[in-house]
């Protein structure tokens, strides 16, 4: 029993008493765990991580879980800036094609072995081997160790976002030779594939149920972690997560459904944090030949008859920023170009439809919606708005897994896709907007845009880059295949006893090292 009973919410004393007196027999004995350090245990309620492989596990719970075990070379701070971590510093060659990283010395893995350059090489080679999504920003590179504590990356071409690639959320530093990262072992070696240098050590794991990590006593940063341990409680149902927080069964939850935030607002012992991010639902109209959005006027009609302000206010309950027509949102500061969205004008949309198709109304079109977050409400509201603009749609809700796994999201004419927050806008352009991008789900191909994207990727200067992005935004507002109703605020909630918690715009990257529990 490592948990001090004061953590259990004391509100229901009467019934507790009632039931303690009912303790007639002891059914189960809880396996005791080595006493935790000072600082208490943070209990995090989140969806169960499905893919524990650091190189491929990509969603918040997966990253959050692995982030406690492993460290990055470079961290991305909540404000999207970079901070040294296992890499104490780095240098870029003048031609911009060679990066040299100095590593922190004296760092040990959980099994006591030393962290060296070989581990870094292993990690990045593995990213290449499994074609991790991290390569999206890393581009083509070679990696080599130079002694035990220096690593040299050689780039095939200019890449202004290379450091963000090194800081990619998939780039957890693994121990050299780890065979099946993220796969549970047998018997005593059950966690032998979970060896990192991270602040916490995996002590217990029950798939789909819970995981418990103890503080890494030999962590390389003095005084960290401050917590004695972290317990992840896997709760797939968002409502249940809220209930769990309210009843004191967990201390921290994130990515709350906006419509449920109000439930927590009256609670005095719960602190709600809201972080603006670039996470957004992407309404995309497939625009290659023979598809719905082949004609730019149709795409424009969708934009005209989508009332972003109202959607943000109603469906998103005002938690976020008004969306636009491309994935470069206001959180990127200088990179964001303020281009006024066309005013909601359903009559104009009807005219465009009439013009483009010769028919009074368009549709009904099958509207595929990823069954995530509040997308269902969004779809229903869009159905209404679009209907005013002479577009009729049939909503088809798709389980996220099925939608993406079946590649439906790449095929359908009209759909809503969820896109998470990324530290730099370039990644969206590389993987989603460019004509040859892997996930060009809209099948949008515009030579002018492609040219601008390529240009931006080698432009290191912020202002120059912002200029290019503004051009892209302008083009996409005119003839792009996207409608983005809003950029979401991410909402987390923590018990007021949790201190030092700063939620990341990509909540999976939230840093627990300086978090503590204060009873």
Partner 1 sequence: MEQNLTNVESFGASHSFTTRFGKFLKQLAERPLSLIGTFIVVLFLFIAVTGPLIAPHGYDEFMRDDEGALMRRTEPSLQHPFGTDKDGRDIFSRVIWGTREIILLPGIATTIAVILGTSIGLTVGYYGGWFDEIVSQLMDSLLSIPALVLALVMLGTFGQSEIGIIIVVVLLYTPIVARIIRSTTLNIRTLGYIEAAKLRGESTPYILFREILPGVLPALVVEAALRFSYAIFLIASLGFLGLGVPPPSPSWGRMVEEARGEYLQAPWALWAPVIAIALLVVGVNLMADGLRRIFRHEIDKVS
Partner 2 sequence: MIRYVIRRIMLLVFTMFITSIIIFALTQLLPGDIARLVLGRDASPVALEEFRETHHLNDSVPVQYANWLKGFITGDWGRSFTRGNPQVRPLIMDRLANTARLGVMILVLSVPLSILLGVVAALNEDGILDSIIAVFSLAVVGLPEFVTGVVLINVFAHQLDWFPSVSFVSSSYSFGDWLRALFLPSLTATLVLLAYIARMTRAGVIDELKKPYVRTATLKGLPQRQIIVKHVLRNALMPTITVIALSMGWLAGGLVVIEQVFNFPGLGRELVDAVTAKNTPVLQAIVMLIIFVYASANLVADVMYGILNPRIRLE
Give backbone dihedrals phi and psi of 281, rounded to 5 degrees, phi first. Answer: -80, 135
- CA-nearest of 173, 152, 150 to 103 is 150
Residues in region 199-258 near partner 1 by CB under 8 A = 238-239, 242, 257
**259 binding partner 1? (CB under 8 A):** yes
Return the residue of 249, 272, 396, 470 that touches partner 1, per CB under 8 A.
396
Rounded-to-5 percentages of helix, strand, coil across the chain: 30, 20, 45
**Measured distance CA(414)–CA(366) in Å, rounded:** 7
Q: How many residues does the chain have?
A: 519
Q: Any idea which residue has 């201190």 for tokens?
A: 499
Instruction: Please compute, for residue 473, the number of CA atoms within 13 A of its CA located in the half-sphere on the CB side.
Output: 22
Cβ atoms 370, 400 nearer than 8 A:
yes
Cβ atoms 505, 277 nearer than 8 A:
yes
Kindly state the smallest distance separating residue 35's Cβ from partner 1, in Å. Answer: 38
Q: Which stretch binds partner 2 (CB under 8 A): 129-137, 269-277, 459-467, 468-476?
A: 129-137
Which among partner 1, partner 2, none contacts residue 31 (Cβ within 5 to 8 A by kind)? partner 2
Return the residue of 142, 366, 376, 451 that touches partner 1, per CB under 8 A.
376
**31 binding partner 2? (CB under 8 A):** yes
**208 binding partner 2? (CB under 8 A):** yes
Which among partner 1, partner 2, none contacts residue 377 (Cβ within 5 to 8 A by kind)? partner 1
Please name the helix (run of DSSP H) or strand (run of DSSP E) that holds residue 125, with its range, or none: helix 117-129
Return the residue of 92, 102, 152, 249 that touches partner 2, per CB under 8 A.
249
Helices (H), 343-374: 346-357
**Measured distance CA(365)–CA(367) in Å, rounded:** 6
Q: Which stretch binds partner 2 (CB under 8 A): 177-185, 271-279, 312-320, 510-518?
A: 177-185
Distance, CA of 140 to chain centre: 24
**10 binding partner 2? (CB under 8 A):** no
Return the residue of 74, 117, 133, 167 that touches partner 2, per CB under 8 A.
133
| Joined tokens for residue 23 | 């303790």
Cβ atoms 348, 304 nearer than 8 A:
yes
**192 binding partner 2? (CB under 8 A):** no
Name the residue nearer to partner 2 (CB basis): 31 or 268.
31
Where does this chain bind partner 1 (CB under 8 A)? 238-239, 242, 257, 259-260, 262-263, 266, 310, 314-315, 371, 376-377, 379-381, 383-384, 395-397
Where does this chain bind partner 2 (CB under 8 A)? 1-3, 7-8, 11-12, 14-16, 19-20, 22-23, 26-28, 30-31, 33, 43, 48-53, 55-59, 62, 129-133, 182-184, 186, 204-210, 212, 231, 233, 235-237, 240, 243-244, 247, 249, 399, 401-402, 404-407, 409, 439
């Amino acid at each position: 029993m490592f948990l001090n009973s004061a953590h259990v919410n004391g509100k229901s004393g009467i019934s507790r008493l009632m039931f303690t007196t009912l303790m007639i027999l002891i059914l189960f004995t809880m396996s005791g765990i080595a006493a935790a350090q000072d600082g208490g245990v943070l209990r995090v309620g989140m969806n169960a991580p499905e893919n524990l492989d650091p190189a491929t596990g990509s969603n918040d719970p997966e990253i959050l879980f692995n982030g406690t075990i492993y460290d990055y070379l470079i961290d991305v701070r909540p404000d999207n800036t970079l901070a040294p971590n296992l890499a104490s510093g780095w240098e870029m060659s003048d031609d911009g094609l060679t990066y040299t990283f100095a590593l922190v010395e004296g760092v040990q893995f959980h099994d006591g072995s030393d962290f060296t350059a070989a581990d870094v090489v292993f990690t990045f080679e593995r990213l290449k081997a499994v074609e991790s999504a991290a390569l999206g920003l890393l581009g083509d590179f070679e990696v080599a160790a130079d002694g035990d504590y220096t690593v040299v990356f050689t780039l095939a071409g200019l890449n202004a976002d290379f450091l963000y690639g090194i800081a990619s959320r998939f780039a957890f530093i693994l121990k050299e030779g780890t065979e099946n990262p993220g796969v549970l072992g047998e018997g005593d070696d059950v966690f032998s594939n979970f060896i990192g240098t991270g602040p916490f050590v995996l002590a217990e794991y029950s798939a789909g149920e819970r995981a418990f990590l103890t503080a890494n006593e030999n962590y390389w940063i003095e005084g960290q972690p401050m917590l004695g341990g972290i317990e992840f409680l896997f709760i797939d149902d968002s409502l249940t997560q809220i209930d769990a927080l309210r009843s004191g069964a967990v201390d921290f939850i994130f990515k709350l459904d906006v419509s449920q935030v109000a439930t927590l607002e009256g609670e005095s012992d719960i602190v709600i944090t809201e972080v603006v991010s670039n996470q957004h639902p992407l309404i995309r109209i497939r625009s290659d030949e023979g598809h719905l959005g082949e004609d730019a006027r149709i795409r424009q009609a969708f934009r005209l008859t989508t009332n972003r302000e109202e959607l943000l206010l109603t469906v998103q309950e005002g938690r976020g920023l008004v969306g636009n027509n491309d994935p470069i949102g206001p959180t990127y500061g200088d990179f964001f170009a303020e281009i006024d969205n066309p005013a909601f004008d359903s009559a104009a949309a009807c005219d465009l439809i009439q013009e483009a198709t010769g028919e009074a109304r368009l549709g009904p079109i099958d509207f595929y919606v990823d069954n995530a977050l509040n997308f269902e409400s969004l779809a229903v509201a869009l159905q209404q708005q679009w209907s005013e603009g002479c577009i009729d749609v049939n909503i088809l809700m798709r389980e996220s897994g099925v939608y993406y796994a079946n590649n439906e999201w790449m095929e359908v004419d009209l759909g809503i896709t969820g896109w998470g927050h990324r530290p730099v806008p370039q990644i969206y352009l590389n993987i989603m907007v460019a004509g040859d991008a892997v996930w060009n789900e809209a099948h949008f191909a515009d030579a002018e845009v492609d040219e601008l994207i390529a240009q931006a990727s080698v432009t290191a200067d912020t202002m120059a880059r912002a200029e290019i992005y503004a051009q892209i935004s302008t083009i996409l507002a005119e003839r792009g295949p996207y409608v983005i109703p809003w950029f979401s605020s991410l909402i987390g909630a923590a018990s007021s006893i949790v201190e030092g918690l700063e939620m990341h715009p990509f909540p999976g990257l939230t840093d627990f090292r300086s978090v503590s529990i204060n009873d």
